[in-house]
Chain A
Protein backbone atom coordinates (compact mmCIF):
# COMPACT_ATOMS: atom_id res chain seq x y z
CA UNK A 1 0.00 0.00 0.00
CA UNK A 2 2.83 2.37 0.89
CA UNK A 3 4.38 1.50 -2.46
CA UNK A 4 1.17 2.40 -4.30
CA UNK A 5 0.91 5.71 -2.52
CA UNK A 6 4.43 6.64 -3.48
CA UNK A 7 3.74 6.01 -7.16
CA UNK A 8 0.64 8.05 -7.74
CA UNK A 9 2.66 11.07 -8.97
CA UNK A 10 4.03 8.89 -11.75
CA UNK A 11 0.50 8.28 -13.05
CA UNK A 12 -0.28 11.98 -12.78
CA UNK A 13 2.80 12.87 -14.80
CA UNK A 14 1.70 10.54 -17.59
CA UNK A 15 -1.82 11.95 -17.89
CA UNK A 16 -1.12 14.79 -20.37
CA UNK A 17 0.99 12.61 -22.62
CA UNK A 18 -1.55 9.80 -22.56
CA UNK A 19 -4.37 12.17 -23.50
CA UNK A 20 -2.52 13.86 -26.35
CA UNK A 21 -1.31 10.56 -27.80
CA UNK A 22 -4.87 9.29 -27.58
CA UNK A 23 -6.26 12.26 -29.50
CA UNK A 24 -3.56 12.57 -32.15
CA UNK A 25 -2.48 8.95 -32.61
CA UNK A 26 -5.27 6.61 -31.50
CA UNK A 27 -8.23 8.62 -32.79
CA UNK A 28 -6.67 8.79 -36.30
CA UNK A 29 -6.10 5.06 -36.01
CA UNK A 30 -9.82 4.62 -35.53
CA UNK A 31 -10.25 6.93 -38.51
CA UNK A 32 -9.03 4.07 -40.68
CA UNK A 33 -12.74 3.19 -40.93
CA UNK A 34 -12.77 5.83 -43.67
CA UNK A 35 -11.06 3.29 -45.92
CA UNK A 36 -14.30 1.28 -45.85
CA UNK A 37 -16.65 4.24 -46.26
CA UNK A 38 -17.79 6.63 -48.88
CA UNK A 39 -16.55 9.32 -46.56
CA UNK A 40 -18.44 12.59 -46.42
CA UNK A 41 -16.77 15.15 -44.13
CA UNK A 42 -20.06 16.64 -42.90
CA UNK A 43 -21.28 13.20 -41.81
CA UNK A 44 -18.05 12.15 -40.14
CA UNK A 45 -16.90 8.64 -39.31
CA UNK A 46 -20.13 7.59 -37.72
CA UNK A 47 -22.70 8.43 -40.39
CA UNK A 48 -20.82 8.13 -43.68
CA UNK A 49 -22.15 5.22 -45.77
CA UNK A 50 -20.23 1.94 -45.62
CA UNK A 51 -19.06 0.57 -48.94
CA UNK A 52 -17.07 -2.48 -47.88
CA UNK A 53 -13.92 -3.01 -49.89
CA UNK A 54 -14.98 -0.76 -52.76
CA UNK A 55 -12.16 1.72 -52.05
CA UNK A 56 -9.60 -1.06 -52.34
CA UNK A 57 -11.10 -2.08 -55.67
CA UNK A 58 -10.78 1.53 -56.81
CA UNK A 59 -7.19 1.45 -55.62
CA UNK A 60 -6.38 -1.55 -57.79
CA UNK A 61 -8.08 0.15 -60.72
CA UNK A 62 -5.95 3.27 -60.42
CA UNK A 63 -4.10 3.47 -63.74
CA UNK A 64 -0.85 4.38 -62.03
CA UNK A 65 -0.96 2.04 -59.03
CA UNK A 66 1.81 -0.17 -60.40
CA UNK A 67 3.89 2.85 -61.27
CA UNK A 68 3.77 4.43 -57.83
CA UNK A 69 4.66 1.15 -56.13
CA UNK A 70 7.52 0.55 -58.56
CA UNK A 71 8.83 4.10 -58.13
CA UNK A 72 8.57 3.90 -54.36
CA UNK A 73 10.49 0.64 -54.22
CA UNK A 74 13.25 1.58 -56.66
CA UNK A 75 13.83 5.05 -55.22
CA UNK A 76 13.92 3.89 -51.62
CA UNK A 77 16.05 0.82 -52.41
CA UNK A 78 18.64 3.00 -54.13
CA UNK A 79 18.56 5.47 -51.24
CA UNK A 80 18.98 2.74 -48.64
CA UNK A 81 21.97 1.15 -50.38
CA UNK A 82 23.77 4.37 -51.31
CA UNK A 83 22.80 5.98 -48.02
CA UNK A 84 24.50 3.25 -46.08
CA UNK A 85 27.55 2.34 -48.17
CA UNK A 86 28.80 5.90 -48.54
CA UNK A 87 28.70 6.86 -44.84
CA UNK A 88 30.53 3.64 -43.90
CA UNK A 89 33.30 4.48 -46.34
CA UNK A 90 33.45 8.13 -45.32
CA UNK A 91 33.55 7.21 -41.62
CA UNK A 92 36.56 4.97 -42.25
CA UNK A 93 38.31 7.69 -44.26
CA UNK A 94 37.49 10.35 -41.66
CA UNK A 95 39.01 8.16 -39.00
CA UNK A 96 42.29 8.27 -40.95
CA UNK A 97 42.49 12.07 -40.72
CA UNK A 98 45.07 12.85 -38.08
CA UNK A 99 44.78 16.65 -38.19
CA UNK A 100 42.07 17.38 -35.64
CA UNK A 101 41.18 20.80 -36.99
CA UNK A 102 40.64 19.51 -40.54
CA UNK A 103 38.69 16.52 -39.24
CA UNK A 104 36.45 18.69 -37.11
CA UNK A 105 35.96 21.16 -39.97
CA UNK A 106 35.00 18.41 -42.41
CA UNK A 107 32.56 16.95 -39.90
CA UNK A 108 30.98 20.33 -39.23
CA UNK A 109 30.33 20.91 -42.91
CA UNK A 110 29.07 17.45 -43.84
CA UNK A 111 26.57 17.33 -40.94
CA UNK A 112 25.02 20.66 -41.89
CA UNK A 113 22.68 19.75 -44.79
CA UNK A 114 20.83 17.31 -42.51
CA UNK A 115 19.42 20.23 -40.56
CA UNK A 116 18.00 22.14 -43.51
CA UNK A 117 14.43 21.43 -44.60
CA UNK A 118 13.57 19.99 -47.99
CA UNK A 119 11.81 23.26 -48.77
CA UNK A 120 15.11 25.11 -48.58
CA UNK A 121 17.16 22.36 -50.19
CA UNK A 122 14.51 21.96 -52.88
CA UNK A 123 14.76 25.67 -53.62
CA UNK A 124 18.53 25.41 -53.80
CA UNK A 125 18.39 22.34 -56.04
CA UNK A 126 15.91 23.93 -58.40
CA UNK A 127 18.29 26.83 -58.79
CA UNK A 128 21.56 24.94 -59.20
CA UNK A 129 20.03 22.30 -61.48
CA UNK A 130 18.29 24.80 -63.72
CA UNK A 131 19.04 24.68 -67.43
CA UNK A 132 19.25 28.46 -67.49
CA UNK A 133 22.51 29.30 -65.80
CA UNK A 134 22.28 26.66 -63.08
CA UNK A 135 25.59 25.92 -61.41
CA UNK A 136 25.63 22.22 -62.26
CA UNK A 137 24.88 22.65 -65.92
CA UNK A 138 27.49 25.40 -66.16
CA UNK A 139 30.02 23.04 -64.64
CA UNK A 140 29.06 20.26 -67.05
CA UNK A 141 29.26 22.78 -69.86
CA UNK A 142 33.00 23.13 -69.29
CA UNK A 143 33.28 19.51 -70.36
CA UNK A 144 31.15 20.12 -73.43
CA UNK A 145 27.99 18.54 -71.97
CA UNK A 146 24.74 20.00 -73.23
CA UNK A 147 22.48 21.40 -70.46
CA UNK A 148 20.49 18.62 -68.82
CA UNK A 149 16.98 19.27 -67.51
CA UNK A 150 17.53 17.20 -64.38
CA UNK A 151 14.21 17.92 -62.69
CA UNK A 152 12.14 17.54 -65.83
CA UNK A 153 13.58 14.36 -67.29
CA UNK A 154 12.34 10.92 -66.32
CA UNK A 155 15.78 9.49 -67.03
CA UNK A 156 17.42 11.74 -64.50
CA UNK A 157 14.80 12.49 -61.86
CA UNK A 158 15.14 9.33 -59.71
CA UNK A 159 18.90 9.79 -59.63
CA UNK A 160 18.52 13.42 -58.63
CA UNK A 161 16.38 12.19 -55.73
CA UNK A 162 18.87 9.57 -54.65
CA UNK A 163 21.89 11.81 -55.12
CA UNK A 164 20.41 14.77 -53.27
CA UNK A 165 19.11 12.58 -50.45
CA UNK A 166 22.52 11.02 -49.99
CA UNK A 167 24.07 14.47 -50.17
CA UNK A 168 21.79 15.69 -47.38
CA UNK A 169 22.10 12.71 -45.08
CA UNK A 170 25.45 10.94 -45.60
CA UNK A 171 27.36 13.21 -43.24
CA UNK A 172 24.88 12.81 -40.44
CA UNK A 173 24.81 9.05 -40.98
CA UNK A 174 28.57 8.84 -40.43
CA UNK A 175 28.05 9.74 -36.77
CA UNK A 176 26.96 6.28 -35.65
CA UNK A 177 29.67 4.59 -37.70
CA UNK A 178 32.35 6.91 -36.31
CA UNK A 179 31.12 6.10 -32.82
CA UNK A 180 31.40 2.39 -33.65
CA UNK A 181 34.96 2.86 -34.90
CA UNK A 182 36.02 4.75 -31.78
CA UNK A 183 34.75 1.97 -29.58
CA UNK A 184 37.02 -0.60 -31.23
CA UNK A 185 39.73 -1.83 -28.88
CA UNK A 186 43.06 -0.24 -30.04
CA UNK A 187 44.98 -3.35 -29.04
CA UNK A 188 43.32 -5.16 -31.95
CA UNK A 189 45.05 -2.77 -34.35
CA UNK A 190 48.36 -3.31 -32.59
CA UNK A 191 47.91 -7.06 -32.84
CA UNK A 192 47.11 -6.75 -36.54
CA UNK A 193 50.17 -4.54 -37.01
CA UNK A 194 52.44 -7.01 -35.23
CA UNK A 195 51.03 -9.73 -37.44
CA UNK A 196 52.19 -7.73 -40.42
CA UNK A 197 48.82 -6.32 -41.44
CA UNK A 198 49.13 -2.98 -43.25
CA UNK A 199 46.60 -0.17 -42.92
CA UNK A 200 44.37 -1.61 -45.59
CA UNK A 201 44.36 -5.04 -44.03
CA UNK A 202 43.63 -3.47 -40.66
CA UNK A 203 40.53 -1.85 -42.11
CA UNK A 204 39.37 -5.15 -43.60
CA UNK A 205 40.14 -7.32 -40.58
CA UNK A 206 39.65 -4.99 -37.64
CA UNK A 207 37.63 -1.85 -38.49
CA UNK A 208 34.91 -3.43 -40.61
CA UNK A 209 34.27 -6.40 -38.30
CA UNK A 210 34.17 -3.94 -35.41
CA UNK A 211 31.52 -1.92 -37.22
CA UNK A 212 29.54 -4.98 -38.28
CA UNK A 213 26.92 -4.97 -35.50
CA UNK A 214 25.91 -1.39 -36.18
CA UNK A 215 25.99 -1.96 -39.96
CA UNK A 216 23.68 -4.95 -39.57
CA UNK A 217 21.43 -2.95 -37.26
CA UNK A 218 21.06 0.01 -39.62
CA UNK A 219 20.54 -2.30 -42.58
CA UNK A 220 17.80 -4.33 -40.92
CA UNK A 221 16.02 -1.31 -39.50
CA UNK A 222 16.03 0.38 -42.91
CA UNK A 223 13.96 -2.55 -44.20
CA UNK A 224 10.99 -1.03 -42.42
CA UNK A 225 11.44 2.14 -44.48
CA UNK A 226 11.22 0.52 -47.89
CA UNK A 227 7.85 2.13 -48.57
CA UNK A 228 9.03 5.55 -47.38
CA UNK A 229 10.74 6.94 -50.41
CA UNK A 230 10.93 10.46 -48.98
CA UNK A 231 7.67 12.36 -49.24
CA UNK A 232 9.01 15.79 -48.28
CA UNK A 233 11.81 15.58 -50.81
CA UNK A 234 9.75 14.29 -53.71
CA UNK A 235 6.94 16.73 -52.99
CA UNK A 236 9.30 19.67 -53.24
CA UNK A 237 11.11 18.54 -56.36
CA UNK A 238 8.63 16.75 -58.58
CA UNK A 239 6.24 18.03 -61.22
CA UNK A 240 3.68 16.34 -63.49
CA UNK A 241 6.39 15.88 -66.09
CA UNK A 242 8.25 13.41 -63.90
CA UNK A 243 5.32 11.55 -62.36
CA UNK A 244 6.35 8.64 -64.57
CA UNK A 245 9.60 8.16 -62.67
CA UNK A 246 9.12 10.10 -59.47
CA UNK A 247 5.55 9.81 -58.23
CA UNK A 248 5.53 7.72 -55.04
CA UNK A 249 2.80 6.24 -52.84
CA UNK A 250 2.89 9.11 -50.33
CA UNK A 251 2.64 11.88 -52.90
CA UNK A 252 -0.17 10.02 -54.65
CA UNK A 253 -2.07 9.65 -51.37
CA UNK A 254 -1.66 13.38 -50.83
CA UNK A 255 -3.06 14.20 -54.25
CA UNK A 256 -5.94 11.73 -54.08
CA UNK A 257 -6.93 12.84 -50.61
CA UNK A 258 -6.18 16.51 -50.26
CA UNK A 259 -6.23 17.69 -53.87
CA UNK A 260 -8.94 15.48 -55.38
CA UNK A 261 -10.73 15.16 -52.00
CA UNK A 262 -11.37 11.43 -52.35
CA UNK A 263 -10.84 10.79 -48.67
CA UNK A 264 -11.95 7.17 -48.59
CA UNK A 265 -9.75 6.11 -51.47
CA UNK A 266 -6.72 7.99 -50.14
CA UNK A 267 -7.17 6.38 -46.73
CA UNK A 268 -7.38 2.96 -48.36
CA UNK A 269 -4.11 3.49 -50.25
CA UNK A 270 -2.52 4.80 -47.05
CA UNK A 271 -3.81 1.81 -45.10
CA UNK A 272 -2.41 -0.57 -47.69
CA UNK A 273 0.97 1.09 -47.27
CA UNK A 274 0.77 1.10 -43.46
CA UNK A 275 -0.06 -2.59 -43.29
CA UNK A 276 2.77 -3.63 -45.59
CA UNK A 277 5.14 -1.30 -43.72
CA UNK A 278 4.08 -2.74 -40.39
CA UNK A 279 4.88 -6.25 -41.56
CA UNK A 280 8.27 -5.09 -42.82
CA UNK A 281 9.00 -3.23 -39.59
CA UNK A 282 8.04 -6.31 -37.61
CA UNK A 283 10.42 -8.44 -39.65
CA UNK A 284 13.19 -5.86 -39.37
CA UNK A 285 12.94 -5.55 -35.60
CA UNK A 286 12.81 -9.30 -35.23
CA UNK A 287 15.95 -9.60 -37.36
CA UNK A 288 17.66 -6.78 -35.48
CA UNK A 289 16.83 -8.48 -32.21
CA UNK A 290 18.05 -11.88 -33.36
CA UNK A 291 21.16 -10.68 -35.17
CA UNK A 292 22.53 -7.98 -32.87
CA UNK A 293 20.27 -8.25 -29.83
CA UNK A 294 18.76 -4.82 -30.44
CA UNK A 295 15.79 -3.63 -28.39
CA UNK A 296 14.15 -0.30 -28.80
CA UNK A 297 13.90 0.52 -25.11
Chain B
Protein backbone atom coordinates (compact mmCIF):
# COMPACT_ATOMS: atom_id res chain seq x y z
CA UNK B 1 0.00 0.00 0.00
CA UNK B 2 1.30 3.34 -1.01
CA UNK B 3 0.88 6.18 1.45
CA UNK B 4 0.67 9.55 -0.26
CA UNK B 5 3.22 12.04 0.97
CA UNK B 6 2.22 15.45 2.28
CA UNK B 7 3.12 17.17 -0.98
CA UNK B 8 1.10 14.59 -2.90
CA UNK B 9 -1.94 15.24 -0.66
CA UNK B 10 -1.49 18.95 -1.14
CA UNK B 11 -1.33 18.53 -4.88
CA UNK B 12 -4.48 16.40 -4.93
CA UNK B 13 -6.37 19.01 -2.90
CA UNK B 14 -5.20 21.93 -5.04
CA UNK B 15 -5.96 19.96 -8.18
CA UNK B 16 -9.55 19.34 -7.11
CA UNK B 17 -10.06 22.98 -6.25
CA UNK B 18 -8.46 24.17 -9.48
CA UNK B 19 -10.47 21.91 -11.79
CA UNK B 20 -13.76 22.55 -10.01
CA UNK B 21 -13.12 26.31 -10.27
CA UNK B 22 -12.33 25.89 -13.94
CA UNK B 23 -15.56 23.98 -14.49
CA UNK B 24 -17.48 26.75 -12.72
CA UNK B 25 -15.81 29.37 -14.91
CA UNK B 26 -17.21 27.50 -17.91
CA UNK B 27 -20.77 27.50 -16.69
CA UNK B 28 -21.13 30.63 -14.53
CA UNK B 29 -21.52 33.10 -17.42
CA UNK B 30 -24.55 31.14 -18.56
CA UNK B 31 -25.90 30.98 -15.01
CA UNK B 32 -25.43 34.74 -14.75
CA UNK B 33 -27.38 35.32 -17.95
CA UNK B 34 -30.15 33.05 -16.72
CA UNK B 35 -30.30 34.89 -13.39
CA UNK B 36 -30.41 38.23 -15.22
CA UNK B 37 -33.27 37.07 -17.41
CA UNK B 38 -35.39 36.32 -14.35
CA UNK B 39 -34.55 39.48 -12.43
CA UNK B 40 -36.32 42.79 -12.10
CA UNK B 41 -35.11 45.24 -14.78
CA UNK B 42 -33.99 47.90 -12.31
CA UNK B 43 -31.79 45.55 -10.25
CA UNK B 44 -30.38 43.98 -13.39
CA UNK B 45 -29.36 47.37 -14.72
CA UNK B 46 -27.79 48.33 -11.42
CA UNK B 47 -25.51 45.30 -11.71
CA UNK B 48 -26.81 43.76 -8.51
CA UNK B 49 -27.58 40.37 -10.04
CA UNK B 50 -24.84 37.74 -9.84
CA UNK B 51 -25.87 34.12 -10.05
CA UNK B 52 -29.31 34.17 -8.46
CA UNK B 53 -32.30 36.11 -9.74
CA UNK B 54 -33.17 39.22 -7.74
CA UNK B 55 -36.82 40.25 -7.85
CA UNK B 56 -37.87 37.03 -9.58
CA UNK B 57 -40.28 37.52 -12.48
CA UNK B 58 -40.96 36.11 -15.93
CA UNK B 59 -41.78 39.37 -17.70
CA UNK B 60 -38.82 39.11 -20.08
CA UNK B 61 -39.92 35.67 -21.22
CA UNK B 62 -43.53 36.77 -21.54
CA UNK B 63 -42.41 39.71 -23.63
CA UNK B 64 -40.30 37.54 -25.96
CA UNK B 65 -42.88 34.82 -26.38
CA UNK B 66 -45.46 37.40 -27.39
CA UNK B 67 -43.23 38.68 -30.19
CA UNK B 68 -44.12 37.41 -33.62
CA UNK B 69 -40.56 37.78 -34.95
CA UNK B 70 -39.16 35.53 -32.27
CA UNK B 71 -41.76 32.84 -32.83
CA UNK B 72 -41.35 33.03 -36.62
CA UNK B 73 -37.61 32.65 -36.27
CA UNK B 74 -38.02 29.77 -33.87
CA UNK B 75 -40.29 28.05 -36.36
CA UNK B 76 -37.81 28.55 -39.23
CA UNK B 77 -35.10 27.01 -37.05
CA UNK B 78 -37.24 23.99 -36.24
CA UNK B 79 -38.02 23.54 -39.93
CA UNK B 80 -34.40 23.69 -41.02
CA UNK B 81 -33.43 21.40 -38.17
CA UNK B 82 -35.90 18.69 -39.09
CA UNK B 83 -35.57 18.95 -42.85
CA UNK B 84 -31.81 19.54 -42.80
CA UNK B 85 -30.98 16.76 -40.38
CA UNK B 86 -33.07 14.10 -42.11
CA UNK B 87 -31.74 15.04 -45.52
CA UNK B 88 -28.18 15.22 -44.31
CA UNK B 89 -28.35 11.89 -42.50
CA UNK B 90 -29.77 10.13 -45.54
CA UNK B 91 -27.03 11.57 -47.75
CA UNK B 92 -24.27 10.85 -45.24
CA UNK B 93 -25.25 7.19 -44.91
CA UNK B 94 -25.79 6.76 -48.65
CA UNK B 95 -22.37 8.23 -49.39
CA UNK B 96 -20.45 6.63 -46.53
CA UNK B 97 -21.64 3.10 -47.30
CA UNK B 98 -20.12 2.77 -50.80
CA UNK B 99 -16.97 4.62 -49.75
CA UNK B 100 -16.43 2.17 -46.90
CA UNK B 101 -15.91 -0.67 -49.36
CA UNK B 102 -12.45 -1.96 -50.14
CA UNK B 103 -10.97 -0.60 -53.37
CA UNK B 104 -10.43 -4.12 -54.64
CA UNK B 105 -14.17 -4.81 -54.41
CA UNK B 106 -15.34 -1.39 -55.56
CA UNK B 107 -12.95 -0.22 -58.24
CA UNK B 108 -14.09 3.38 -58.53
CA UNK B 109 -13.95 3.93 -54.79
CA UNK B 110 -10.81 6.05 -54.73
CA UNK B 111 -12.06 8.34 -57.52
CA UNK B 112 -15.26 9.00 -55.60
CA UNK B 113 -13.36 9.40 -52.34
CA UNK B 114 -11.07 12.01 -53.84
CA UNK B 115 -14.00 13.80 -55.41
CA UNK B 116 -15.49 14.31 -51.96
CA UNK B 117 -12.34 14.83 -49.91
CA UNK B 118 -10.88 17.46 -52.23
CA UNK B 119 -13.74 19.78 -51.29
CA UNK B 120 -12.46 19.91 -47.71
CA UNK B 121 -9.24 21.49 -48.89
CA UNK B 122 -10.21 23.55 -51.89
CA UNK B 123 -13.13 25.90 -51.82
CA UNK B 124 -14.19 28.86 -53.88
CA UNK B 125 -14.54 31.04 -50.83
CA UNK B 126 -17.45 32.98 -49.45
CA UNK B 127 -18.38 35.17 -52.41
CA UNK B 128 -18.56 32.55 -55.21
CA UNK B 129 -20.47 30.29 -52.82
CA UNK B 130 -22.98 33.03 -52.11
CA UNK B 131 -23.23 33.90 -55.79
CA UNK B 132 -23.89 30.26 -56.75
CA UNK B 133 -26.81 30.04 -54.36
CA UNK B 134 -28.08 33.40 -55.51
CA UNK B 135 -27.93 32.41 -59.18
CA UNK B 136 -29.83 29.23 -58.35
CA UNK B 137 -32.62 31.51 -57.15
CA UNK B 138 -32.50 30.07 -53.65
CA UNK B 139 -32.29 33.35 -51.75
CA UNK B 140 -35.05 33.54 -49.14
CA UNK B 141 -35.86 29.88 -49.60
CA UNK B 142 -35.60 27.33 -46.81
CA UNK B 143 -33.62 25.10 -49.20
CA UNK B 144 -30.74 27.57 -49.10
CA UNK B 145 -30.28 26.75 -45.41
CA UNK B 146 -30.55 23.01 -45.96
CA UNK B 147 -29.06 21.91 -49.28
CA UNK B 148 -25.63 23.61 -49.47
CA UNK B 149 -24.32 21.91 -46.35
CA UNK B 150 -26.29 18.69 -46.72
CA UNK B 151 -23.30 16.59 -47.80
CA UNK B 152 -20.94 17.08 -44.87
CA UNK B 153 -17.70 15.39 -45.85
CA UNK B 154 -16.32 15.27 -42.30
CA UNK B 155 -19.39 13.38 -41.13
CA UNK B 156 -19.07 11.02 -44.07
CA UNK B 157 -15.48 10.23 -43.12
CA UNK B 158 -16.52 9.65 -39.52
CA UNK B 159 -19.27 7.24 -40.47
CA UNK B 160 -17.15 5.60 -43.16
CA UNK B 161 -14.53 4.75 -40.55
CA UNK B 162 -17.27 3.36 -38.35
CA UNK B 163 -18.54 1.15 -41.18
CA UNK B 164 -15.04 -0.07 -41.95
CA UNK B 165 -14.57 -1.33 -38.43
CA UNK B 166 -17.56 -3.65 -38.70
CA UNK B 167 -16.73 -7.32 -39.23
CA UNK B 168 -16.47 -8.18 -42.93
CA UNK B 169 -18.08 -11.58 -42.41
CA UNK B 170 -21.49 -10.03 -41.80
CA UNK B 171 -21.52 -8.52 -45.24
CA UNK B 172 -20.02 -11.54 -46.98
CA UNK B 173 -22.51 -14.00 -45.54
CA UNK B 174 -25.39 -11.70 -46.49
CA UNK B 175 -24.01 -11.56 -50.04
CA UNK B 176 -23.91 -15.33 -50.22
CA UNK B 177 -27.52 -15.40 -49.04
CA UNK B 178 -28.35 -13.25 -52.05
CA UNK B 179 -28.80 -9.83 -50.44
CA UNK B 180 -27.95 -6.74 -52.50
CA UNK B 181 -26.10 -3.63 -51.32
CA UNK B 182 -29.24 -1.69 -50.48
CA UNK B 183 -30.59 -4.50 -48.33
CA UNK B 184 -27.23 -4.99 -46.60
CA UNK B 185 -27.02 -1.29 -45.86
CA UNK B 186 -30.55 -1.03 -44.51
CA UNK B 187 -30.75 -4.32 -42.65
CA UNK B 188 -27.21 -4.80 -41.39
CA UNK B 189 -25.05 -1.68 -41.52
CA UNK B 190 -27.54 0.88 -40.27
CA UNK B 191 -28.88 -1.15 -37.32
CA UNK B 192 -25.48 -2.10 -35.96
CA UNK B 193 -23.97 1.34 -36.55
CA UNK B 194 -26.50 3.19 -34.45
CA UNK B 195 -23.92 4.66 -32.03
CA UNK B 196 -21.99 6.16 -34.96
CA UNK B 197 -25.13 7.35 -36.69
CA UNK B 198 -26.46 8.88 -33.48
CA UNK B 199 -23.20 10.77 -33.03
CA UNK B 200 -23.33 12.21 -36.53
CA UNK B 201 -27.05 12.95 -36.18
CA UNK B 202 -26.62 14.90 -32.95
CA UNK B 203 -23.72 16.87 -34.41
CA UNK B 204 -25.79 17.71 -37.46
CA UNK B 205 -28.70 18.84 -35.32
CA UNK B 206 -26.49 21.05 -33.16
CA UNK B 207 -24.90 22.56 -36.26
CA UNK B 208 -28.28 23.35 -37.76
CA UNK B 209 -29.51 24.90 -34.57
CA UNK B 210 -26.37 27.00 -34.15
CA UNK B 211 -25.99 28.14 -37.75
CA UNK B 212 -26.62 31.85 -38.18
CA UNK B 213 -24.32 33.21 -40.87
CA UNK B 214 -26.03 31.45 -43.77
CA UNK B 215 -29.34 32.87 -42.60
CA UNK B 216 -27.85 36.33 -42.40
CA UNK B 217 -26.56 36.41 -45.97
CA UNK B 218 -28.98 34.08 -47.75
CA UNK B 219 -32.22 35.41 -46.29
CA UNK B 220 -33.17 38.89 -47.34
CA UNK B 221 -36.46 39.11 -45.52
CA UNK B 222 -36.36 39.10 -41.75
CA UNK B 223 -39.29 36.73 -41.41
CA UNK B 224 -37.13 34.04 -43.03
CA UNK B 225 -34.36 34.35 -40.44
CA UNK B 226 -33.69 31.27 -38.34
CA UNK B 227 -33.53 31.92 -34.61
CA UNK B 228 -29.77 32.31 -34.28
CA UNK B 229 -29.70 34.83 -37.12
CA UNK B 230 -32.57 36.71 -35.54
CA UNK B 231 -30.72 36.74 -32.21
CA UNK B 232 -27.58 37.87 -34.00
CA UNK B 233 -29.38 40.92 -35.31
CA UNK B 234 -31.16 41.85 -32.09
CA UNK B 235 -28.54 40.97 -29.49
CA UNK B 236 -25.34 41.76 -31.29
CA UNK B 237 -25.81 44.56 -33.74
CA UNK B 238 -25.57 47.54 -31.50
CA UNK B 239 -23.50 50.64 -31.44
CA UNK B 240 -20.64 50.27 -29.00
CA UNK B 241 -19.57 53.88 -29.13
CA UNK B 242 -22.95 54.88 -27.76
CA UNK B 243 -22.92 52.15 -25.16
CA UNK B 244 -19.52 53.14 -23.87
CA UNK B 245 -20.24 56.70 -22.80
CA UNK B 246 -23.88 56.94 -21.99
CA UNK B 247 -25.00 55.75 -18.62
CA UNK B 248 -27.86 53.48 -19.53
CA UNK B 249 -30.68 54.84 -17.47
CA UNK B 250 -33.67 54.96 -19.80
CA UNK B 251 -36.39 52.55 -18.83
CA UNK B 252 -36.31 50.92 -22.23
CA UNK B 253 -32.54 50.35 -22.09
CA UNK B 254 -32.87 48.78 -18.70
CA UNK B 255 -35.37 46.14 -19.64
CA UNK B 256 -33.23 45.53 -22.71
CA UNK B 257 -30.70 43.74 -20.55
CA UNK B 258 -33.16 41.27 -19.08
CA UNK B 259 -34.84 40.71 -22.45
CA UNK B 260 -31.52 40.08 -24.19
CA UNK B 261 -30.51 37.70 -21.45
CA UNK B 262 -33.76 35.82 -21.82
CA UNK B 263 -33.28 35.64 -25.59
CA UNK B 264 -29.78 34.26 -25.19
CA UNK B 265 -30.98 31.72 -22.69
CA UNK B 266 -33.87 30.57 -24.89
CA UNK B 267 -31.44 30.30 -27.81
CA UNK B 268 -29.23 27.94 -25.83
CA UNK B 269 -32.04 25.98 -24.19
CA UNK B 270 -32.43 23.30 -26.90
CA UNK B 271 -28.68 22.64 -26.75
CA UNK B 272 -28.82 22.35 -22.97
CA UNK B 273 -31.73 19.92 -23.29
CA UNK B 274 -30.02 17.56 -25.75
CA UNK B 275 -26.63 17.95 -24.07
CA UNK B 276 -26.94 14.87 -21.83
CA UNK B 277 -27.61 12.69 -24.90
CA UNK B 278 -24.97 14.52 -26.87
CA UNK B 279 -22.34 13.91 -24.23
CA UNK B 280 -22.97 10.19 -24.17
CA UNK B 281 -22.05 9.95 -27.84
CA UNK B 282 -19.63 12.65 -28.81
CA UNK B 283 -16.68 11.45 -26.78
CA UNK B 284 -16.90 8.13 -28.58
CA UNK B 285 -17.47 9.84 -31.92
CA UNK B 286 -14.55 12.22 -31.58
CA UNK B 287 -12.13 9.54 -30.53
CA UNK B 288 -13.35 7.31 -33.31
CA UNK B 289 -13.13 9.96 -35.98
CA UNK B 290 -9.86 11.60 -35.10
CA UNK B 291 -7.54 9.19 -33.35
CA UNK B 292 -7.09 6.22 -35.52
CA UNK B 293 -3.71 4.65 -36.14
A residues lining the B interface (CB < 8 Å): 3, 6-7, 9-11, 13-14, 16-18, 20-21, 23-32, 34, 39, 41, 44-45, 90, 93-94, 96-99, 102, 105-106, 108-113, 115-117, 119-120, 122-128, 130-135, 138, 149, 151-152, 167, 171, 175-176, 179-180, 199, 214, 231-232, 235-236, 239, 241, 250, 253-254, 257-258, 263, 266-267, 270-271, 273-274, 278, 281-282, 293, 296-297
Contact = CB atoms under 8 A, between A and B. Distances in A.
Given A29-B123, A254-B126, A274-B125, 4 more contacts: A17-B94, A41-B131, A116-B271, A123-B236
A132 B98 contact: no
Contacts of B128: 28-32, 34, 267, 270
A109 B26 CA distance: 6
Interface stretch (B58-66, B193-201, B283-291): B283-291
Nearest to A25: B119
A52 to B, nearest CB: 18
A257 to B, nearest CB: 4
A235 B157 CA distance: 30
Contact of A239 (B22, B99, B106, B240): B240
A106 B122 contact: no
Interface in B125-176: 125-136, 147-151, 153, 156-157, 160-161, 175
B125 A263 contact: no
Contacts, number: 277
A171 to B, nearest CB: 6
Contact of B157 (A27, A282, A296): A296
A7 B108 CA distance: 10
Interface of chain B, helix or strand or loop or mixed? helix
A119 B115 contact: no
A226 to B, nearest CB: 15
A226 B281 CA distance: 30
A197 B205 CA distance: 47
A28 B108 contact: no
Given A96-B15, A117-B228, A128 B283 contact: no
B268 interface: yes
Most A CB contacts (10 A, CB to CB) among B8, B29, B136, B231 go to B29
Contacts of A124: 29-30, 32-33, 264
B16 interface: yes
Interface of chain A, helix or strand or loop or mixed? helix
Interface string B181-204: 110010000000000000000000
A138 B123 CA distance: 45
Contacts of A98: 12
Interface size class of B (residues with CB under 8 A): 35 or more
A123 B15 contact: no
Interface of B: 8, 11-12, 15-16, 18-20, 22-27, 29-30, 32-33, 36, 45-47, 50, 91, 94-95, 97-99, 101, 105-108, 112-113, 115-117, 119, 121-136, 147-151, 153, 156-157, 160-161, 175, 180-182, 185, 206, 209-213, 217, 228-229, 231-232, 235-236, 238-241, 243-244, 247-248, 257, 260-261, 263-264, 267-268, 271, 275, 278-279, 282-283, 286-287, 290-291, 293
A171 B126 contact: no
Given A115-B275, A124-B30, A28 B129 contact: yes
A132 B23 contact: no
11 contacts: A10-B97, A31-B132, A105-B23, A117-B210, A123-B264, A127-B36, A132-B243, A132-B248, A171-B26, A263-B131, A296-B117
B236 A135 contact: no
Contacts of B156: 17
B240 A297 contact: no
A127 B261 contact: yes
Given A111-B279, A133-B47, A296-B157, A32 B124 contact: yes
Given A21-B115, A24-B132, A176-B287, A135 B29 contact: yes
Nearest to B121: A281
